[in-house]
């Protein structure tokens, strides 16, 4: 990863974080913590990796990204707006009546959204279906899913994990945004999904563990996933919930609470 | 009379459909022999996906396939499709309005000996409460085959409710099923019998029995429960002045409720419901169970007379 690319991606990640803060602030509700923790992963995917045509959202050959942790909608919306799928001003309509930016992603209303998500545990199975179709049609698109670590408490995640390995979906890679926190507290206290790495390994996946805020590591992990044949890859990305905003970082209270106007100002100043 | 199980007709139709439409894919959850998707599996193994005993994943994977241009038929027993995977159907199929066909077999009491745990008696109610969902309950093998093709041709989610045992073939090969259109099998002036699924042939028997007693009963096959053919219901209510519904389902929330809703809003006449009266089933042969829970010709006759008697009240 050269210095120029790093600077570009860092700048995009900053813009996405600022958008997350602005839109949740304007909405007065939403999920900033888990959006910020995933910002670097989403940045690398949308601004380096995914083969997309924003002017033709349904283009057949596009790579697919399924935000299984649908409550992190702000990070997806920020990336899509930054990518040109819709005007950035529209981000401020998040969660408002009539908005295309629903509280959780709605594929019918917003271009670029690959799947309506929000009920945890369902996205990976859908990604599997997309990957199976890709194999069936001999298409070379790749499918990515982003899950939360708390989400891994859902039984259906493991049904899908079993199936992806069974069908050798090497055109699929999943990220686990391992920020360690869920609504009621640390994931290890609420219902520990650990050892996460061993679980995914036992389910037949190629497992990579990275720092989910290190752009180079994210990029390398994606490259390794692409080279891995015969099985899907999961990238367990250690992240910090609320990353980039000092008062939100690693604070369980910032899962589903929007910043107040003065907090928005402070957060944006920090992100400059 | 020839009997064909609707699940057998489904299995047969899938193979024909798969031949002419290469986008059709089939998913099952370890019940391919019972749901009859095995026929498709054997013919088109590359387009068949066994998801194992994991119904939530069955539905989610079907959603992903639909998003990639496929027409997935997802099959398992009705209780597991609509029960275990209800929320996946609601959030991953119906809300995004995806082109997934949920073809569920072994619906109702006639699962038989497996007992109450396997007898879906609530599936119509829950499926019809979900926006974007089309609900079809074919009456015989001929209608099932046509419904499979109609479902494939319809853009959006479909719930196709199929049964385990053989049911009498009512229709000739010239019959044309259309989603949302009820079929008047027998005209009649004094009472209208509105039935779906296996109860259609039983309603026809009941109409014969009523005729023997000098009562002129119409029989309407309401094979699409959603969208309901409201015009046909209103027409029948107006011409007969009394309706009896018959379904292999809880009387709460199914065909009887759907018909009563329309009648209450547009043309109030007595509506009496024949069905399972809000209890769970049990083990037994299909015939024994239908008799035990009052899903019989005799019960329909009794309710028809009662409905006619209420007209003058």
Same domain as B106, residue B15: yes
Three-class secondary structure assignment of chain A: CCHHHHHHHHHHHHHHHHHHHHHHHHHCCCCHHHHHHCHHHHHHHHHHHCCCCCCCCCCCCCCEEEECCHHHHHHHHHHHHHHCCCCHHHHHHCCCCCCCCCCCCCCCCCCCCCCCCCCCCCHHHHHHHHHHHHHHCCCCCCEEEEEECHHHHCHHHHHHHHHHHHCCCCCEEEEEEECCEECCEEHHHHHCCCCHHHHHHHCCCEEEEEECCCHHHHHHHHHHHHHCCCCCEEEEEECCCCCCCCCCCCCHHHCCCCCCHHHHHHHHHHHC
From the list B46, B51, B64, the residue facing A130 with the nearest CB is B64
Q: State CA B302 to chain mean position distance.
A: 24
CA distance B115 to chain A (A): 27
Instruction: Examine the domain organization and report whether B237 and B160 are in the same domain.
Output: no
Of B25, B56, B68, the CB nearest to A130: B68
**Is residue B56 located within the same domain as residue B28?**
yes
Nearest residue in chain B measured CA to CA from A116: B96
The CATH classification number of A3-271 equals: 3.40.50.970
Whether residues B291 and B152 share a domain: the answer is no
> What is the interface pTM, i.e. ipTM, of the complex?
0.96
DSSP E strand boundaries for chain B: 3-5, 24-28, 48-50, 71-77, 101-105, 134-136, 158-161, 166-168, 183-186, 191-195, 217-221, 224-226, 243-250, 271-276
**Cis amide bond preceding A238, omega within 30:** no
Contacts of B65 in chain A (CB under 8 A): 129-130, 132-133
Buried b or exposed e, range A216-254, using 16+ CB within 10 angstroms: ebbbebbeebeeeeebbbbbbbbbbbbbbbeebbbbbeb
d(C-alpha B142, C-alpha B147), whole Å? 9
Q: For residues B90 and B29, state if they share a domain.
A: yes
Asked if residue B231 belongs to a domain, the reply is: yes
Domain at B164, CATH number:
3.40.50.970
Q: Are residues B194 and B152 part of one domain?
A: no
**A268 phi and psi, to 5 degrees?**
-65, -35
As a whole number of angstroms, the longest Cα–Cα distance in chain A is 52
pLDDT at B1 over 90: no
For residues B140 and B75, state if they share a domain.
yes
Domain range list for chain A: 3-271
Task: Provide the residue count of chain B.
Answer: 313
- Whether residue B72 lies inside any domain: the answer is yes
Q: Strand, helix or coil at B285?
A: coil
Q: Decide if B28 is inside a domain.
A: yes
- Is pLDDT above 90 for B13? yes
Of B46, B72, B91, the CB nearest to A122: B91
Asked if residue B155 is part of any domain, the answer here is: yes
Same domain, B193 and B96: no
- Residue B258 belongs to domain with CATH number: 3.40.50.920
How confident is the model at residue B313, as a pLDDT? 63
Do residue A133 and residue B46 have CB atoms under 8 angstroms apart?
Answer: no
The pLDDT score that the predictor gives to residue A154 is: 98
Main-chain phi, psi angles of B244, to 5 degrees? -130, 130
Contact state of B52 with A118 under an 8 Å Cβ cutoff: no
Q: Do A128 and B25 touch (CB under 8 A)?
A: no
Q: State the nearest Cα–Cα gap between A126 and chain B, in angstroms.
A: 4
Q: Is the pLDDT of residue B312 over 90?
A: no
Q: Low-confidence residues of chain A, pLDDT below 50?
A: none
Query: A75: which 2 tokens?
Result: 């990070």
Determine the average pLDDT of the residues in B286-307.
Answer: 98
Cα gap B119→B188, rounded to integer Å: 33
User: Is A109's Cβ below 8 Å from some Cβ in B?
Assistant: no
For the question of residue B213 being annotated catalytic, the response is no
A129 → closest Cβ in B56, B65, B91? B65
Q: What is the mean pLDDT of residues B285-300?
A: 98
CA distances (Å), origin A12, targets A75, A158, B270: 12, 33, 67
Task: Provide the mean pLDDT of chain B.
Answer: 98
Task: Say if B88 falls within a structural domain.
Answer: yes
Q: For residue range B228-264, list pLDDT tens digits in order.
A: 999 999 999 999 999 999 999 999 999 999 999 999 9
How high is the pLDDT of residue A1?
Answer: 85
Report whether pLDDT(B63) > 70: yes
B217-221 sheet: strands from edge to edge: B183-186, B217-221, B191-195, B243-250, B271-276
Q: Which residues, 6+ apart, have CB-to-CB distance to A107 below 8 Å?
A: A113, A114, A115, A116, B96
Give whole-number Cα distances, A187 to A148, A181, A182, A196, B248, in Å: 10, 5, 6, 11, 45
User: What pLDDT is stored for residue B305 in this prediction?
Assistant: 98
What's the pLDDT band for B280 if we cut at 50, 70, 90? very high
Which one of A59, A125, A137 would you mutate to disrupt binding with B, by most B Cβ within 10 Å of its Cβ? A125
Which residues of chain A have a CB within 8 Å of the CB of B61? 125-126, 128-129, 132, 160, 163
Q: Which residues of B touch A (CB under 8 A)?
A: 25, 46-47, 49, 51-52, 54, 56-57, 59-70, 72, 87-88, 91-92, 95-97
Among B168, B203, B236, the domain boundary falls at B168
Neighbours of A140 (CB within 10 A): 10
Domain identity same for B128 and B192: no
Domain final position from B110, B140, B168: B168
Q: Is the peptide bond before A156 cis (omega within 30 degrees of 0)?
A: no
Please give, rounded to a whole number of angstroms, the shortest distance from the CA of B73 to a CA of chain A. Answer: 13
Tokens of A215: 């752009």
Which range of residues forms the domain containing residue B255?
A: 183-311
User: Do B131 and B163 fall into the same domain?
Assistant: yes
Chain B residues closer than 8 Å to A163 by CB: 51-52, 54, 57, 61
Domain count across chain B: 2
| B143 and B192 part of one domain | no
Angle, vertex CA B129, rays to CA B278 and CA B245, nearest 5 = 50
> What are the tens digits of pLDDT across the range B149-202?
999 999 999 999 999 999 999 999 999 999 999 999 999 999 999 999 999 999
Catalytic residue (choose from B46, B55, B230, B248): B55
Within a domain: B173: no
Residues B220 and B139 in one domain: no
């Amino acid at each position: 990863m050269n210095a120029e690319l790093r600077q570009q991606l860092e700048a995009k990640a900053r813009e996405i974080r600022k958008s997350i803060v602005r839109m949740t602030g304007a909405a007065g509700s939403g999920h900033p913590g888990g959006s910020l923790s995933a910002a670097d992963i989403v940045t690398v995917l949308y601004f380096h990796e995914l083969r997309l045509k924003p002017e033709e959202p349904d283009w057949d050959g596009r790579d697919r990204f399924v935000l299984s942790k649908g409550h992190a909608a702000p990070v997806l919306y920020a990336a899509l707006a930054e990518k040109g799928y819709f005007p950035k001003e529209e981000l401020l309509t998040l969660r408002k009546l009539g908005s295309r930016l629903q509280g959780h992603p709605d594929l019918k209303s917003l271009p670029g959204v690959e799947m309506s998500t929000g009920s945890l545990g369902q996205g990976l199975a859908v990604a599997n279906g997309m990957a199976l179709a890709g194999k069936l049609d001999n298409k070379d698109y790749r499918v990515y899913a982003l899950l939360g670590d708390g989400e891994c408490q859902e039984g259906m995640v493991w049904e899908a994990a079993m199936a992806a390995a069974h069908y050798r979906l090497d055109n699929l890679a999943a990220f686990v945004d391992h920020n360690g926190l869920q609504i009621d507290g640390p994931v290890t206290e609420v219902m520990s999904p650990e050892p996460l790495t061993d679980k995914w390994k036992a389910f037949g996946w190629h497992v990579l563990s990275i720092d989910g805020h290190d752009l180079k590591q994210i990029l390398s992990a994606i490259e390794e996933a692409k080279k891995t044949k015969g099985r899907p890859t999961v990238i367990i990305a250690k992240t910090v919930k609320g990353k980039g905003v000092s008062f939100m970082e690693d604070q369980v209270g910032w899962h589903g609470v929007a910043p107040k106007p003065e907090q928005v100002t402070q957060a944006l100043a920090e992100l400059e | 009379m020839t009997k064909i199980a609707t699940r057998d007709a489904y299995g047969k139709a899938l193979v024909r459909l798969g031949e002419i439409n290469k986008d059709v894919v089939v998913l099952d959850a370890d019940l391919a022999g019972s749901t009859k998707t095995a026929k498709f599996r054997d013919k088109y193994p590359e387009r068949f996906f066994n998801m194992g005993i994991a119904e939530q994943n069955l539905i989610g994977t079907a959603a992903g396939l639909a998003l990639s241009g496929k027409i997935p038929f997802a099959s398992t027993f009705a209780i597991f499709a609509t029960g275990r995977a209800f929320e996946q159907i609601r959030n991953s199929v119906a809300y995004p309005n995806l082109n997934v066909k949920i073809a569920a077999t072994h619906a109702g009491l006639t699962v038989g000996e497996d007992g109450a745990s396997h007898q879906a008696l609530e599936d119509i109610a829950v499926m019809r409460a979900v926006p974007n969902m089309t609900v079809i309950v074919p009456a015989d093998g001929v209608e099932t085959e046509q419904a499979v093709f109609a479902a494939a041709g319809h853009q959006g989610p479909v719930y196709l409710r199929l049964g385990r045992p053989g049911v009498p073939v009512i229709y000739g090969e010239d019959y044309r099923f259309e989603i949302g259109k009820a079929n008047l099998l027998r005209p009649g002036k004094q009472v209208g019998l509105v039935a779906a699924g296996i109860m259609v042939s039983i309603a026809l028997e009941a109409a014969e029995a009523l005729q023997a007693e000098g009562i002129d009963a119409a029989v309407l096959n309401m094979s699409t429960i959603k969208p309901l053919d409201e015009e046909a219901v209103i027409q029948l209510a107006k011409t007969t002045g009394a309706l009896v519904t018959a379904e292999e389902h809880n009387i709460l929330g199914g065909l009887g409720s759907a018909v009563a809703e329309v009648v209450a809003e547009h043309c109030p006449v007595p509506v009496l419901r024949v069905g399972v009266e809000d209890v769970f089933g049990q083990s037994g042969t299909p015939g024994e169970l239908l008799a035990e829970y009052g899903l019989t010709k005799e019960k329909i006759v009794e309710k028809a007379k009662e409905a006619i008697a209420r007209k003058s009240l």
